Structure 1
Amino acid sequence: MHKLGKVLVAALAVAVFSGTAYGYSTVSSLDGITREDVIESPDPGERPADGSLDILLVGRDSRTDDNGNPLSPEMLRELRVGANGDDLTDTLIVLRIPNGQKAVKAFSIPRDSWVAEPGTKDKTKINGIFGHAKFASASAQREAGKTDKAEIDKVAITAARKATLKAVEDLTGVKIDHFAEVNLQSFYDISKAVGGVEVCLNRATKDRKSGADFPAGKQTIQGADALAFVRQREDLPRSDLDRVRRQQVFLAGLAKQVLSAGTLANPARVSELIDAVKRSVVLDGSWDLFDFVRQMQGVSGGGIAFDTIPVVNPDYRYNPKQPTATAVQVDPAQVRAFAASLIGAQPTTPQAPPAGPKVDVVNASGKDGLAARVSDVLAEKGFGKGEMTAEAGRRTSVVRFSDASGPATEIAKLLGGLETQKADSVAAGHVQVVLGQVYKGPGVSAGGGAAGVRTDQPITSDDTGCIN
C-alpha cells in the first residue's frame, strides 16, 4: 500500500531524472519535502562501510497525513479504509545499491516477520514495532510532565521510526544509510500522478476488507484500486507472501512507468508527481538528493530487481496459548547471508552457538528425506546429530525430552512452535523430534534449511509477469 510512495523514492533511487538539466531543476523543487532526523548524519563524501548504499522504504498503515492531521472522511471513503487504523508498518523494503555499480537490488521483509524487539528481550511481529515504540515514547514523555500533544506525538513518531530502522538493521545485518516513509494517501496520490501502473493477475480475485475486485489478465490501476491491489491479503493462496509479491510487481511497474518517455516528457505529469511527493513522503534529514541523482545516473527501470528475504515457516504458531495466532518465522543468520549476497560480501553473522544435546529425529510424516533435512537445520544451530529413524504415520509433531526441558523448548521454537513432552524413553543428553504429516517448519522441502523457504524468482521492471 505504501509501496507507491516507496516507488517514488525508488524513482529517485533509480535516478528518475537522471542528471539532465531538467532533472536537476526538478529535484531542486523537492526542497520542501518533509525531513526527519532518523539517521545520524555521515561524514561528507563518506562511502558506506558495508560496500552498499542502503535505503529503507517504509509504508505506514496510517490514517493521517505526514503532519499528523487526520484524513478527511471523504478521503477515507475514497481510500476504502476506516477511520481507526493501527500504527503499523505494512511495507518494509531495503534498496541495496552496491558501490560503483548500477544494479539496484531491493528486498522485502514480510510484515508479520517474527523478530527481536530492539531494546528488549521480547520477540514480536516487525510491523508492530513502530506502534510499540511510539506508545512507549509518548507514555515516558507524559510521565516526565510533558503536556503538549503535538510535541509528544512528534517525538514519539521519531522514536518509532528509529526503532523500526533498528529492527531492520538487527535482522538483516545491513547498516541503513537513508530512510523514506509514505502513508496511505501518498500511495494514492503518487499512483494517480504517474497515470497508473499495468499489472497482470493469474485469476480474478475479490476481497471486501481491502476493497480489491480485479479481473484476470492485464490491467492498469491507480488511486484506490492501486491501494487495494497492494493491500489485499484475503483470497490469495499465500496470504502475506503473495501480498509482498503484489507490492514488488507494482513497484517494478511504477519504476518502469516513471522512467518511461511518456512520463518524463510530460511536464504536467512530472509536476503532479513532484507535488504528490512533497505532500506525503518523509525522508531522513541527511539525504542529499542532488548527490544521489549524480550517483544513480545510468540506472534504468530494468536495473532494479525485487526479492524477498528467506522464510523459515510462513505459518509459525508462536504462542501455544493462542494456537490460531500466526507469524512468519525467519532466521536472522539466513537473512543476513541473503542480504550480504546481494553485494557479494560475506555475511556479518554471529558464530553458531556451542554444541547442544544430540537430537534424534523420527520421520512419521511419510515425506522422503525430511528427517535428514531437519537434522541438518538443527546442526546448523549447534545441536548434535543423533539417530534418524522412521515410523508409522502420525499427524502431529512433538519434541520429547527426559532430563532437561530447556533445549527441547528451544528446538520446538526453531521448528515452528511445536509441542514439547516429557518422555522417559528418550536417552539422557538427547532430545527426540517426531515429525508428523502436518509439519510445516524448517526443512519441510529441499532447500528449506539454510536457504530458507524461497519459491519466487526476483522481479524486474522488464519482466513482472502475471501473479496471484
Structure 2
Amino acid sequence: MAERTSGRLAKYARPRKAPLWSKIVLGLGCVLLVLSGGAIAFGKTLLNKIDSIQQEDILGNKDADGEVDGPLNLLMVGADLRPKSGEPARADTIMILHIDKDLEQANIVSIPRDLRVEIPDCGDGQPCTDKINASYTYGGSKPKDGAANLAKTITNNFGVEFDGVALVNFEGFLDVVKEFGGIDLCLPHDLDTKHGGVYKKGCQRYKPDDALAIVRERYAWPDGDYGRQRMQQHFVKQLLKEADKQGYVSNPTKVGGLIDQVGKQLILDLGGIKTSNYAIALRGIKAGDMESVKLPSESQTIDGISYVVIQEGQQKQDADSLFDAIKDDTLSQWLKDHPDYLNKDPSEKDKK
C-alpha cells in the first residue's frame, strides 16, 4: 500500500397532545435538525421551509418509503462548502451521531481528524495510508464527493455504515451566533488562541468572532485536538440552549428565520427522506441528555508527522467495542461501561 502524508494531498410521526418544539442541533461537524410535531400546529409553511434545506445524494441509499426508522448513524462533517478556486477541500471536524432504535437518545462520537487510517481512494483510485480528514480532500473539490469518500473510509476501517450525512460550513454559523447576539461558553482554563488572543477560565458570553477563535483553537489545549473536540461539542450544546432561551424553539416566526440562517450553511443527505419527516420523528431527543465520546486513541509521531493512532492492546479492544456498540445500538450501555471516554461538558460540572 502506498504511504502518503496529509501534506502531499491531491489537487483536489408520533402525535403529542401539546405542541412541543425540540431542538436544532448545529455546530462544527454536528448538525441535525430535530424539530417537534408541534411544527404541524403552525401549518405547512414552516414544514415547507424545513424541506427547502438543500439535499444531495451523497451515499446513494435513498429510502423509497420515506420512513424514519431507528437506529440511525449520521456522519457530520465540518467543512468549507465553498472552497476558493484552486484550494483543496478540507474537513476540520468529523463526528458520528448515533440515534437509538426508539429515536429518543442521541450521542456524539468524535473522530480525530488526524486519525491514521487506510483510505481506499486517494484521488487516483488507489489506496494509501494517511490522516482520515485527507479522505475528504482526496474525494475532489465538490463537498458531496469529499463526504462520500470520507464515509467510505470510515466504513472500510471500522464497519460503521451511515444512514445520512450532514455537511456544515462552520464559519457560516457566525451568522447564527450574531443573530443570537453572542453565546455563552465555559473554559476549563485560560486559553491563549492563535486568532483571538487570551480568553480567561470560566463561563462568559462571547461575541461571534471570539467564539469562533475559541472553537477553532487546537494548540492551546494540553491534549491538542482532543481539547478542541470537547470545545466543539460544548459549542453545539450551548447553541441549542441559546436557541431555547431566546424562544427560537417555541416561536414559529423566530424559528423560521433561524432555519433560513442554518439552511444556508448545510448540505444534507437523508436518504431521500424529507427533512420535515426527520424533524418530527426525532422530536423526543433532548440536547441536555446527549453524551459526547472520545475515540480510544492517542497522539503519535510517525516519520516526523503527528498522527492520532489506536494502539494495539486494551486501547484497540476499547475502540473495537465502541464501533461494535455503534453498529449494534448498544452505545448507551458502552458509555456506562467506559466512563473514562466521556467528554464532560465544562458547563455541567456536577453531571454524573
Pairwise TM-score range, normalised by the shorter structure: 0.7 to 0.9
1:79-100, CA deviations, whole angstroms, 9 ceiling, x for partnerless residues? xxxx996522111111111111
**Which of the residues 55, 65, 87 maps onto 1:44?**
65
* 1:114 equivalenced with 2:107 (yes/no): no
Give the structure-1-normalised TM-score.
0.59
Equivalent of residue 198 in structure 1, options 156, 163, 184: 184
Question: Which of 216, 231, 248 is the matching residue for 1:246?
Answer: 231
Partner residue in 2 for 1:457: 342
User: What is the match of residue 124 of structure 1?
Assistant: 130
Cross-structure match for 2:291: 305
SS at match of 2:27: helix
Q: Does 2:32 correspond to 1:30?
A: no
Question: Is 1:337 paired with 2:310?
Answer: no
Assess if the C-alpha contact under 8 Å between 2:26 and 2:239 holds in 1. Answer: no
Give the equivalent residue in structure 2 for 1:215.
200
Where in structure 2 are there 5+ consecutive unaligned residues? 1-24, 332-337
Secondary structure of 1:34's match? coil
Give the alignment's Cα RMSD to 1 decimal. Answer: 3.2
1:294 matches 2:280 = yes
**Counterpart selection for 1:91 from 93, 97, 102:** 93
Alpha-carbon distance between aligned partners in 2 of 1:124 and 1:85, rounded to the nearest angstrom: 19
How far is the alpha carbon of 1:330 from its aligned partner?
2.4
1:375-396 Cα shifts (integer Å, max 9, x gaps): xxxxxxxxxxxxxxxxxxxxxx
For the residue of structure 2 that corresponds to 1:241, the secondary structure is helix
Greater relative CO, 1 or 2 (CA 8 Å, sep 6+): 2
Structure 1 unaligned runs (5+)? 71-82, 135-152, 348-450
Distance verdict in 2 for CA 1:45–1:280, change over 3 Å: closer
Q: Which amino acid aligns with 2:105?
A: A
1:328, distance to aligned residue in structure 2 (A): 0.3
Helix, strand or coil for the counterpart of 1:264? Answer: coil
Q: Tell me the TM-score normalized by structure 2.
A: 0.76
Distance 1:28 1:213 in 2: 44
- The equivalences for 1:50-449 within 5 A come to 52-60=71-79, 62=80, 66=81, 68=82, 70=84, 86-119=88-121, 120-134=126-140, 153=141, 156-208=142-194, 210-260=195-245, 262-266=247-251, 269-284=254-269, 286-311=272-297, 313-314=298-299, 316-319=300-303, 322=304, 325-330=305-310, 334-342=318-326, 345=329
Q: Quick one: which amino acid aligns to residue 174 of structure 1? A: V
Question: How much has 1:276 moved relative to structure 2?
Answer: 1.2
Q: Deviations over 1:271-304 (max 9, x none)?
A: 3321212222111162421211221122222232
CA deviations over 1:210-255 (Å, ceiling 9, x no partner): 3353122111234222221211012211111100111111112222
Q: Is the 8 A contact 2:106 2:290 kept in 1?
A: yes
CA distance in 1, matches of 2:213, 2:26: 11
For residues 88 and 342 of structure 1, what CA distance do their matches in structure 2 show?
26
**Distance in 2, Cα, partners of 1:205 & 1:304:** 25
Q: Give aligned-pair identity as a percent.
A: 25
Compared CA separation, residues 308 and 3, structure 1 to 2 (3 A): farther
Distance 1:96 1:346, change over 3 A: closer
Give the superposition deviation at 1:52. 1.6
Is the Cα contact below 8 Å between 2:77 and 2:168 reproduced in 1? Answer: yes
Cα distance in 1, alignment partners of residues 274 and 158 from structure 2: 25
Change (3 A) 1:344 1:121: closer
**Deviation at 1:327?**
0.5
Amino acid across the alignment from 1:21? A
In structure 2, relative to structure 1, the CA distance for the partners of 1:58 and 1:342 (3 Å cut) is same
- Equivalent pair of 1:188/1:222 in contact (CA under 8 Å): no
**C-alpha separation in 2, matches of 1:241 and 1:84:** 30
How many residues are paired up? 310
Q: Are 2:115 and 2:308, in contact at CA under 8 Å, matched by a contact in 1?
A: yes
Letter in 2 for 1:176: F
